[in-house]
């Protein structure tokens, strides 16, 4: 682990970390030239420098993972769980340091960054204990002297590809349950967040993870190491693929997995609705909408996109919401931890589809805090009168923008909420329990919140969506185990001779007695 002085203008932010790929338990260079991870907070800040991987690096990582699998899956699950507990301890010991790097590298506020590190810690704590609960079942047989049982078995080598908006929490959701179940991993983190990924790998090293169990390959997605990973599916390198990112790339991965009869875990985009009914606590709903739409600069797959307002309170809510947005402070999260959100993770995420503008030193006002000249800081954008006929209603923007839609009644509100091809997260604000129950039963989304935001996840609850938001796989909690294990049925016959189910079973067996004269009662 090496450091060098940062550029003079960015020296107060911290040093530049010189990172590596991690293959077969060794820190190695890549086949291609190195690339810099520049801070979106201030592009003069070089957070890290990393070697980019090529096709041969992916093959080496896959071979290292395959070799490690031969011994790792034989390690008792409680022992694997205890190693994950130690990983959580290392994360906890360095929580604030990791959060600061996370803020530097992806532009989150320190409050959100601390929460993300805590989510990774929670994931370790939860799955450490699951090492003692990888339960199967004992099933009664229809034959004598025969035992039937089921067992979770690891799938093999898992390719993991993650995005930049949650560069620590989401990888933990995938890697931790994968290795707990006895699998090995080849992980491609986002090219926008290699430094926090490297430090996560260092946490695994400090905890004593054996060589080859997790391998990290850095570089670009399209045209780079991500493309080589996808090609590795057809080459037989992987028995599982877990991906978080766009629906378009998810389809490509799904097609490759389908050709090879592999079941991928796909966590994709969202166009998440929140309904506010006439009896809602408007102040509570406004705060939820503010953070749901603009937290992390709207760069969450669960960010609020379509805000559906019941007509009787639409004007009152809009007035309060606009007032709250107008008071929200934005800007540099390193200099001002109190800001609602900071910059876009990468300037490519800042392309305006419509409306809004980029903050500059020329157009900034008192709500914009700190140095912003060297980052992509976007104004919040609110659209009124959006209907299902408009592209904006259906398109995932992945930025600080939200649509206001009007509904005449609950039925129309629910129809609007279900009116996009996505189905990730959803919310409703109401005190009417009948509406709550109808919403829970009728919303087509993998996650539903009642009087809470569309954003936010807990480590022990399933996370995932429907339709364009995913393929039905779930991350978090015991449900994640289904992605990284396959069921094995064991038929253990101690009778000493061949017994054939359904054939040698005497289902006609019964005792015979004198007939009961029911007709004489």
Which residues does the annotation mark as catalytic? 267, 301
For residue 415, count other CB atoms closer than 10 A to its CB.
Answer: 14
Query: Three-state SS across 64-133?
Result: HHHHHHHHHCCCCHHHHHHHHHHHHHHHHHCHHHHHHHHHHHHCCCHHHHHHHHHHHHHHHHHHHHHCCC
**What tokens does 451 get?**
């009087």
What sign does the CA torsion over 419, 421, 423, 425 have? negative
Cβ(309)–Cβ(406) under 8 Å?
A: yes
256 φ, ψ (degrees, to nearest 5):
-65, -40
Q: How far apart are CA 143 and CA 146, in angstroms?
A: 6
What angle separates helix 77-93 from helix 194-207, to the nearest 10 degrees? 120
**What tokens does 298 get?**
């709207």
Query: Three-state SS across 361-394?
Result: CCCCCCCEECCCCCCCCECCEEEECCCCCCHHHH
C-alpha distance from residue 456 to each of 18, 111, 298, 349, 425 (Å) = 33, 13, 13, 22, 10
Q: How far apart are CA 262 and CA 285, in angstroms?
A: 42
**What tokens does 296 get?**
């992390």
The helix or strand, by DSSP H or E, that contains position 255, with its residue range, turns out to be: helix 247-259
Q: Is 282 helix (H, G, I), strand (E, B) or coil?
A: helix
Q: How far apart are CA 67 and CA 213, in angstroms?
A: 9
What sign does the CA torsion over 401, 404, 410, 414 have? negative
Q: How far apart are CA 458 and CA 460, in angstroms?
A: 6
Q: How far apart are CA 100 and CA 46, in angstroms?
A: 14
Residue whose C-alpha is closest to residue 216's, from 163, 260, 178, 159? 159
List, in sequence order, every residue forming a beta bridge with 37; answer none if it has no partner. Answer: 48
Residue whose C-alpha is closest to residue 212's, from 32, 12, 62? 62
**β-pairing, 422-423 with 466-467?**
antiparallel
Q: How far apart are CA 48 and CA 36, in angstroms?
A: 6
The helix or strand, by DSSP H or E, that contains position 275, with its residue range, turns out to be: strand 272-276
For residue 494, count other CB atoms closer than 10 A to its CB.
Answer: 8
Residue whose C-alpha is closest to residue 19's, from 46, 51, 44? 51
């Amino acid at each position: 682990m090496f450091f060098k002085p940062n550029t003079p203008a960015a020296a107060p932010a911290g040093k530049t970390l010189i990172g590596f790929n991690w293959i077969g338990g060794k820190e190695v260079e890549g086949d291609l030239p190195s690339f810099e991870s520049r801070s979106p907070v201030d592009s003069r800040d070089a957070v890290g420098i990393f070697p980019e991987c090529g096709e041969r690096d992916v093959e080496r990582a896959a071979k290292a993972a395959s070799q490690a699998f031969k011994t790792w899956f034989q390690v008792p699950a409680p022992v694997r769980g205890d190693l994950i507990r130690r990983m959580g301890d290392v994360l906890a010991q360095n929580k604030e340091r990791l959060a600061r790097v996370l803020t530097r590298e992806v532009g989150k506020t320190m409050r959100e960054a601390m929460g993300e590190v805590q989510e990774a810690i929670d994931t370790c704590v939860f799955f450490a204990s699951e090492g003692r609960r990888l339960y199967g079942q004992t099933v009664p047989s229809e034959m004598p002297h025969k035992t039937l049982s089921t067992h979770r078995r690891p799938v093999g080598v898992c390719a993991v590809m993650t995005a930049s908006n949650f560069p620590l929490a989401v990888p933990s959701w995938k890697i931790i349950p994968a290795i707990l179940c006895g699998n090995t991993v080849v992980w491609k983190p986002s090219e926008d967040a290699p430094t926090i990924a490297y430090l996560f790998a260092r946490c695994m090293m400090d905890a004593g993870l054996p060589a080859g169990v997790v391998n990290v390959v850095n570089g670009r997605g399209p045209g780079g190491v991500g493309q080589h990973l996808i090609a590795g599916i057809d080459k037989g390198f992987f028995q599982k693929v877990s991906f978080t990112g766009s629906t378009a790339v998810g389809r490509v991965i799904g097609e490759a997995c389908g050709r090879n009869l592999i079941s991928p875990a796909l966590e994709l985009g969202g166009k998440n609705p929140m309904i506010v009914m006439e009896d809602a606590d408007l102040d509570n709903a406004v705060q939820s909408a503010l953070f749901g739409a603009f937290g992390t600069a709207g760069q969450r797959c669960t960010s609020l996109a379509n805000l559906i307002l019941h007509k009787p309170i639409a004007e009152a809510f809009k007035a309060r919401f606009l007032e709250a947005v107008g008071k929200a402070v934005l800007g540099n999260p390193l200099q001002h931890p109190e800001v609602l959100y900071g910059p876009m993770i990468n300037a490519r995420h800042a392309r305006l589809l419509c409306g809004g503008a980029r903050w500059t030193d020329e157009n900034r006002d008192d709500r914009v805090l700190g140095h912003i000249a060297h980052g992509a800081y976007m104004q919040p954008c609110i659209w009124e009168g959006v209907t299902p006929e408009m592209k904006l209603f259906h398109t995932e923007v992945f930025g600080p923008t939200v649509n206001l839609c009007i509904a005449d009644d609950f039925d129309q509100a629910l129809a609007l909420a279900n009116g996009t091809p996505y189905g990730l997260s959803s919310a409703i604000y109401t005190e009417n329990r009948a509406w709550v129950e109808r919403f829970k039963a009728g919303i087509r989304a993998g996650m539903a919140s009642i009087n809470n935001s569309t954003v936010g996840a807990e480590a022990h609850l399933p996370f995932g969506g429907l339709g364009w938001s995913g393929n039905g796989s779930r991350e978090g909690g015991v449900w994640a185990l289904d992605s990284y294990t396959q069921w094995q049925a064991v038929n253990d016959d101690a009778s000493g001779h061949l017994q054939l189910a359904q054939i040698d079973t005497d289902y006609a067996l019964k005792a015979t007695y004198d007939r009961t004269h029911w007709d004489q009662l």
